Amino acid sequence: MISELTGPASVSVQDLPEPAPAGQVVIDVAAAGVCFPDLLQTLGLYQFAPPLPFVPGSEVSGIVLAAPAGSGFAAGDAVAAFSVLGGFAERVAVAPGQVFALPEGVALDEAAGLPMNYLTCDFALRVRAGMAAGETVLVHGAAGGIGTAAIQLARAGGARVIAVVSSAAKGAIARAAGADEVIPVTGFMEAARELTQGRGVDIVVDPVGGERFTDSLRALAPLGRLLVVGFTEGSIPQVKVNRLLLGNLSVVGVGWGAFWMQRPGFLQQQWAVLAPLLATGAIRPVLGASYGLAEVGAALTAIDERTAVGKLIVHPASAPTQAATAN
């Protein structure tokens, strides 16, 4: 639970009542994914600011305990869900439209890493960028949850992927996710142009922002698209629009949350695109470290300090009578 906005150290474990369904699907949480927005919420810096106190955790996987009639779910179903809040808990209640049936063979730990990153990247590449087979996609932050999801979805769509990383260990993660080439942050623009015979890349996926933004624009080919996914570096870059005019370039915002919240049914439409890729193994979250419920603060600190590689996962402990949650 979070009772004060002082960062990861403010996260504590408390006993709370069982969630009240109220037309929602109740899930026995097997695993919860850890996301950059979870970190921002502990600092009061995220655009969605819930009133204190609140239980963080935006994505989970688990087994359905109860579901309303007509929801399409039943007790015993294995699911992933975008909970928005409340995911760092033993049980959570989620609106049926934000719950997703898992194809056979998808592990629950993997499923916990799907909703936030893969739905965001599907929206970024397919909807906002209109990515086509044969294009070249450069991915910043390529060893993180967003980065590995972008690599896999770009590859599944027939694109060539160049991954940008800050260390050899992170390069190994990006390669495991399926990147065709891996290049270091330092000199990435020149390296990307060399790998494309001077043409540049068609799409840049940028969850980092900050100082590398201008060189990301310079790395684009004519008609290239720079996807603004986030600002994990901490600073929000400025755009010199003459670069866009002269290069016939586009800077494209990826506000997935703002988009789907205004469009009932959109998440399920996205899931219909992703489910076949899951079933064939074309996409699978690259998992990093796992944590217990009492270690949520440590997981968020790893993201804050940029030491996390792959998708971090929290495993809630069971309690016999009450749902223990990290608030």
What is the model's pLDDT at position 239? 87
The DSSP H or E segment spanning 32 is strand 25-33
pLDDT in tens, 226-246: 999 988 777 788 888 999 999
What is the model's pLDDT at position 319? 33
Could you give the count of Cα atoms lying within 13 Å of 90 in the half-sphere of its Cβ?
15
Question: Letter for the amino acid at 319?
Answer: A
Higher-confidence residue: 232 or 321? 232
**Which of 86, 85, 149, 154 lies closest to 117, judged by CA?**
149
pTM of the model: 0.92
Lowest mean pLDDT among 107-111, 133-137, 304-308: 304-308
What is the model's pLDDT at position 218? 96
Give the Å distances, CA to CA, from 79 to 57, 116, 291, 318: 16, 14, 20, 18
What is the model's pLDDT at position 20? 82
| Ordered domains of the chain (ranges, CATH) | 8-114+285-326 (3.90.180.10), 117-259 (3.40.50.720)
**With contact defined as beta carbons under 8 Å apart, do 326 and 90 qualify?**
no
What is the model's pLDDT at position 48? 80
- pLDDT over 50 (residue 30): yes
Mean pLDDT over the full length of the chain: 93
Average pLDDT over residues 285-308: 93
**DSSP notation for 108-131:** HHHHHTSHHHHHHHHIIIIIIS--
pLDDT band of residue 323 (cuts 50, 70, 90) is: very low
What is the model's pLDDT at position 231? 83
